[in-house]
Amino acid sequence: MATIIAASFFLTLVAAEQSEDDATLQYLTELNKSLSTNYIYALLALTAIVFLYQSALRLIAHTRHLASMNNGGAQRYFAIGSPAMGWIKDHMLYAPTFQHKRATEIKFSRYLNFGTIPTRFQTLFICAFITYNVFACTWNIPWSEPEAKVLKVLGDRAGILSTVNLLPIVVLATIKNPFIALLGISYDTYNLMHRWLGRLCVLQAIVHTLANLIVKVQKQGWAGVEAWLTHPFILNGFIATLGFVILFLHSPKLIRSWAYEVFLYVHIVVVIVSFAFLWLHLKDFSARFLLIGAIVIWGGSRLWRLVTLAYRSWGRQSCQAAIQALPGDALRISLSSPRPWTFKPGQSIFLTIPSVGWHTAHPFSIAWTEFGETLSRSNSVKSAFDEKTPISRIRELEVEATGKQSYGLIIKAKTGLTKKLLDSVERAGGLDGSTISFSACIEGPYGIERSMSSYGTVMLFASGVGITHQIPYVKELIEGYANGTVAARRITLVWVIPSTDCLEWVRPWMHEILGMKGRRDVLRVALYITRAGLSQPIRSPSETVRMLRGRPDVAGIMQREAAEKEGCMGVSVCAGGGLADEVRRVSRVLCANGVNLDFMEEGFGW
């Protein structure tokens, strides 16, 4: 009797334990099903928070703009920064992850380029995002249970997260991302997040595959794994994971910098193959709807880009590029679009020259837009910066025939499309200064609108072709000053170039800027010639346009402007890593010292 009672008690305990295990497994299964929905809600909540923050910044800038257009006390009020905000800018928003280098690339040779380091805030955001994914992957897992059960739950959780992460990955990857304008975040930053989130997605796919593989080995050994891999469901998932790993291995900057066009098209092909096998793997699961969403977003963005390209490039007439060779292996391109748009400073386009490379689309900043006549002082390079030279009316090459609106670019030939384009101009006999016309395709405009109208003091730094980003702001601010619609009272343009020959790049545009109403009251131009020989004469055209030998003392220039500033300071830089990092460093110092300053950096770090 005692034996029967003991056996009954034992069976009751086993049944209760089995029932508890089944309930736990059922709970975890339901939890995994709701994981993707909760994850998407979390992403939407994060987006809403960023939107509210950016909306607050826009409201502050708009209020400052309206209050500072007149020379009243508002300029003095906005000149003083908040100590708390100054600390945040100095230690978080503008600070590099380590010391002072952010834009300087980590490279040991031309072929060993490891890219740049994010800002401290970007690094913390990436770490927080990874931590959240680790938490979501491991939360409430019964670690005390047998290893097979733990691995099963962990593997399923990792697989779901890997799939749901495809949604933000494809959104972050597309230049047509609507959140660029909505949140005021540059495509360069979105691309950074795309790469890190992609790495996380690959890691989760590997965890999903290995967890299920280990369970199979424990139950049936390697012989069972061999038979297991012949099952279409398992094989499709394994190939999809392998495709993700290939994407991870060929995506570092070291690989991208060797041949970006090759990387891009290999990337697209591998993505298509991986998505196809992942679809076959998920066709009987609800997670397939997440994949459908990613495919729709990715395919839709590609289609919309093609529509944009066709709309801007073809009409009653096709898009034409008038190209002129310039000193220093540079090209000035004037584009006429059959369907022009209202240009805003900071915008860029993708340019394709079919006769040079039909499959290659390269991003370029728009330096100038023109319609009709322009102002000219002479055909001399130096006279473009001489405000005493008489002004005459000329027709620029982009409008001389039709009077259509045109868009001006400056391209520095390096590798890929830019080098091929320079070679094509040379073969066509265009190195004598004549204009060579090509059929072109343009896509855009892209970029976020960073208005400088609310800043009483504006400092614009550029090196080389980075001047293309800053010139539109100079023109807009001077026009606004003359019309009384901007807060700017001091505008400083600092341009660093290797030789005076580079002045030819912007000669026709500087003609017009130096002839604009009110320009002498607000604009100061400093041109630094870094490779000028001691015997080469360097003459400053005037007190407001100075030409100097060597490299700029960024700290001295910015501190002098800060001492004489009016209103809030806006500092923008589009330059090589060394100059950009120095401007960033000094901006942080000024913020820490109580100056109300906003720092903006423009670059293509793809």
pLDDT at res. 1: 45
CA 320 – CA 534 distance, rounded (Å): 43
Q: Closest by alpha carbon to 448, among 182, 140, 161?
A: 182
The pLDDT of residue 8 is 42
Locate 532 and state its tokens.
Answer: 């000028």
User: Alpha helices of 484-576 — where are they, by DSSP H?
Assistant: 507-514, 519-522, 554-563
Confidence label for 535 from pLDDT (cuts 50, 70 and 90):
low
Amino acid at 593: N
Residue 596 CB partners (closer than 8 Å, separation 6+): 78, 79, 80, 81, 82, 568, 569
Using alpha carbons, list the distances in angstroms from residue 129 to 126, 139, 380, 427. 5, 15, 55, 51
Task: Tell me the pLDDT tens digit for each residue of 145-172.
Answer: 888 888 988 999 999 999 999 999 999 9
Name beta bridge partners: 321.
335, 438
Other Cβ atoms less than 10 A from the Cβ of 140: the count is: 11
Question: pLDDT digit string (tens) for 258-267?
Answer: 878 888 899 9
Tell me the C-alpha distance between 585 and 569, whole Å: 15
> What percent of the chain clears pLDDT 90, i.e. is strictly above it?
59
Per the listing, tokens 């170039």 go with: 497
Tokens of residue 586, six digits: 């000094």
pLDDT higher for 465 or 531? 465
> Residue 125: which of 178, 72, 189 has the closest Cα?
189
pLDDT of residue 30: 67
**What is the rounded distance in angstroms from the CA atom of residue 399 to the CA atom of residue 368?**
13
Check whether 20 has a pLDDT greater than 50. Answer: no
Select from 83, 64, 61 the least CA-distant residue to 591: 83
For the chain, the farthest-separated pair of C-alpha atoms sits apart, in whole angstroms, at: 120
195-228 confidence digits (pLDDT tens): 999 999 999 999 999 999 999 888 888 877 888 8
Cβ contacts of residue 599 below 8 Å, gap of 6+? Answer: 89, 94, 571, 572, 573, 583, 584, 587, 588, 591
Give the whole-angstrom CA distance, residue 354 versus residue 51. 39
Listed ranges 29-38, 158-167, 366-375, 378-387; the one with the highest mean pLDDT: 158-167
Looking at residue 449, its pLDDT comes to: 82
Q: Compare 415 and 3 and report the one with higher pLDDT.
A: 415
- The architecture that CATH gives domain 457-601 is 3-Layer(aba) Sandwich (3.40)
Average pLDDT over residues 491-515: 92
- Residue 541 and residue 521: Cα distance in Å, rounded? 16
d(CA 589, CA 606): 29
At 25 the pLDDT is 57
- The pLDDT, as a whole number, for residue 551 is 93
User: Quick one: average pLDDT of 553-562?
Assistant: 96
- Burial class, 45, CB count within 10 angstroms (exposed 0-12 / middle 13-18 / buried 19+): exposed
Q: Does the pLDDT at position 506 exceed 80?
A: yes
Say if residue 94's pLDDT is above 60. yes
Query: How high is the pLDDT of residue 55?
Result: 95
Spell out the domain ranges in the chain: 27-68+140-307, 313-379+393-446, 457-601
The CA distance from 55 to 571, in Å, is 21
Say how many Å lie between the first and final Cα of the chain, rounded.
79
Confidence of residue 234 (pLDDT cuts 50, 70, 90): very high
Q: What is the pTM of this model?
A: 0.88
State in words which class domain 313-379+393-446 has. mainly beta
Q: Could you please report the per-residue DSSP string of 420-464?
A: HHHHHHHHTTGGGS-EEEEE-EEEEEES-----TT-SEEEEEEEG
Peptide bond into 445 cis (omega under 30): yes
Q: What is the mean pLDDT of residues 166-195?
A: 93
Model pLDDT for residues 262-291, shown as the tens digit of each residue: 888 999 999 999 999 999 999 989 889 999
Q: At 567, phi and psi to the nearest 5?
A: 75, -165
Using pLDDT thresholds of 50, 70 and 90, give the confidence band for residue 105. confident
- Mean pLDDT, the chain, as a whole number? 86
